[in-house]
Amino acid sequence: MKKKILVANRGEIACRIIRAIQELGHTAVAIYETPDNGALHIRVADEAIWLGDGPRVDYLDIERIMQVAKRYDIDAIHPGYGFLAENPGLPKACVENDIIFIGPNSEVISNLGNKVMARKIMAGAKIPMVPGTDNLADDEDAAVAEAIVFGEKYGYPIMLKATAGGGGRGIRQVDRPEDVQEQFQIARAEAIAAFASGDIYIEKVVVQPKHVEVQIIADSTGETVHLGTRDCSIQRRNQKLVEIAPSLIPDQGLLDEICETAVRAAKAANYENAGTVEFLIDKDMNYYFMEINTRVQVEHTVTEMVTGIDIVRTQIKLALGKTLLFKQEDVQIRGYAIEMRINAEDPQNDFMPEGGKTVNVYRSPGGYGVRLDGFVYQGYTIPEVYDSLLVKLTVHGYSWNETVDRLRRCLNNYVISGLKTTIPYYIQLVNEPQFQSGDFDTSYIEQHPELADYRDDVSEVNKIAALIAEIHHEKMNPYAI
Ligand code: ADP
Ligand code: ADP
Ligand code: MG
């Protein structure tokens, strides 16, 4: 039966989800705040509902969203990532209002969203992890003293982490005992600002780790499969920029073991729907559980490209009561996929956001093995109040080398002018030998400051194109993004 599905998100992920809803023959309902007037997710949806002036507060207002959901006879809600995606209050409100939440239930989200609780559940299932603490004391002096005891016991560096953390915020590495207090204050302030909770705990640092994660999908019968690994080691400020599927670690036995561990972790948490189990891998190839993200991940595209499985479509079908159609042995990984997050940021200025600017010229690459998940178009002004992701460029290839070659071609053909983006930085990146070798860890960007060493002038051709576009008030067809 045709359902009305509300997408409680914006930007590229809202567009991504709307496509899946429409492909399934359901009705896609968008919501928006005033700064998103004219945004693509409103145009591609079947219906769009204005929530309020925002910014951000209305997208985060569960009561308001439930109010419109009731009023417009919504059957199900997809939260996307960010915003309310990991807020257990949304699935709870959905249950109370007889609406289907596309994701795990509130108890699972609340258990796994709390990193200390998640570690307890995983410890019970004997999932490998680094030494860590409970929440530190509320009192600052007592908390600092606990951290110093931990540092003495396990050695430095140690990691202070926001218990409710997400998006790389509230994470501070401490290298020496004399820095504990200052870093604790920063981590706590960041945690309070981002998560309205000052809870901080400690983990031992895995030095120069690889970040490897496993996509898992589980149905209501407990059938749980994994869709292989992704490497997300290329990060700045603990936030991912580039993601690769599958991991390039040449030990297939180890990767299989990590995938099986991820399935065990998901089962231990009674997981349902799509999720991601994140691990860190040290130089000696020991792996440690880090967290489970209870939502669709930004980088789900690379897994879709190498498995052929539409993760968002699967999420919706499972939430509407279907069971998994494929078994573990049906999942095959073919070739490699790389996603680059093209952000409105200036890599030459510490990746400062470039919000508030207008896209003068937008020309995107296409062709075999190329996928774009975006929401900006020529003439679009980027709202300043949301995150800086413009479009995800995902390429798929038969081999790693072919995938890198394809990526280079796409980046060289991409034109976004009117604002600074991460594209010129990525062009440097794809030409860098260590990146090409596929062997890097989370310190890669920090260790390659020369990647930001490029001349960022708009070429004459682009300037002329921008001028012509302006004269003709040319708008790209916003559907071909
Ligand atoms: P990934 O999906 O790979 O984990 P990010 O860590 O960048 O990607 O998170 C995806 C988006 O969701 C980002 O915009 C980030 O700021 C936001 N986000 C992630 N976790 C939270 C959270 N707990 N609260 C608020 N926003 C979050
Ligand atoms: P978030 O919820 O913000 O994604 P994570 O716990 O997933 O937080 O950590 C984000 C990133 O921070 C990781 O990908 C990794 O680069 C770094 N990190 C987190 N914990 C550790 C640790 N114990 N040792 C080394 N790096 C870590
Ligand atoms: Mg994480």
pLDDT tens, position by position, 78-96: 999 999 999 999 999 999 9
For range 379-385, the mean pLDDT: 95
- What per-residue confidence (pLDDT) applies to 479? 46
pLDDT in tens, 307-342: 999 999 999 999 999 999 899 999 999 999 999 999
Residues 466-475: what's their mean pLDDT? 64
Mean per-residue pLDDT, 420-443: 97
Comparing 470 with 236, the larger pLDDT belongs to 236
Confidence band of 468 (pLDDT split at 50, 70, 90): confident
pLDDT at position 480 is 44
pTM above 0.95, yes or no: no
pLDDT (0 to 100) of residue 458 = 64
Q: What is the pLDDT of residue 478?
A: 47
Instruction: Please tell me the number of the ligand nearest to residue 302's CA.
Output: 1
CA–centroid distance, residue 166 to ligand 1 (Å)? 6
User: What is the CA(70)–ligand 2 centre distance, in A?
Assistant: 38
Residue 462 has pLDDT above 70, yes or no: no
Give the pLDDT band of residue 158 (cuts 50, 70, 90): very high
Mutate to test the pocket of ligand 2, among 175, 280, 291, 446 (most ligand atoms within 8 A of CB): 280
Task: Respond yes or no: is residue 295 known to be catalytic.
Answer: yes
Cα of 117 to ligand 2 centre, how many Å? 16
Determine which helix (DSSP H) or strand (DSSP E) holds 118, and give its type and residue range.
helix 115-124
Question: Which residues, chain by chain, have CB under 5 Å from ion ligand 3?
Answer: 278
Burial class (CB in 10 A: 0-12, 13-18, 19+), 368: exposed
Task: List Cβ neighbours of 79 (8 Å cut-off, separation of 6 or more).
Answer: 8, 9, 85, 90, 101, 102, 103, 295
pLDDT mean over 359-380: 94
Ligand 1 site, residue 167, Cβ cutoff 6 A: yes
Nearest one of 345, 355, 351, 350 to 381, comparing CA atoms: 355
Q: Residue for token digits 């479509």? A: 313
- Mean pLDDT on 241-246: 98
Q: Which of 20-24, 224-228, 463-467, 477-481 has the lowest mean pLDDT?
A: 477-481
pLDDT digits (tens, 9 = 90+) for 40-72: 999 999 999 999 999 999 999 999 999 999 999
The answer to whether residue 116 scores a pLDDT higher than 60 is yes
Residues having CB within 6 Å of any atom of ligand 2: 130, 159, 165-168, 171, 203, 205-206, 209, 211, 235, 238, 278, 280, 290-291, 442
DSSP category for residue 414? -
Query: Would you place residue 105 in the very low, low, confident or very high pLDDT band (cuts 50, 70, 90)?
Result: very high
Ligand 1 centroid–CA 467 distance in Å is 36
Q: What structural domains does the chain harbor? A: 4-102 (3.40.50.20), 131-204 (3.30.1490.20), 210-452 (3.30.470.20)
Sign of CA dihedral 445, 447, 452, 454: negative
Mean pLDDT of the chain: 95
Residue 51 confidence (pLDDT): 98
CA distance linking residue 277 with residue 376, whole number of Å: 30
10, 119, 188, 295: the active-site residue: 295
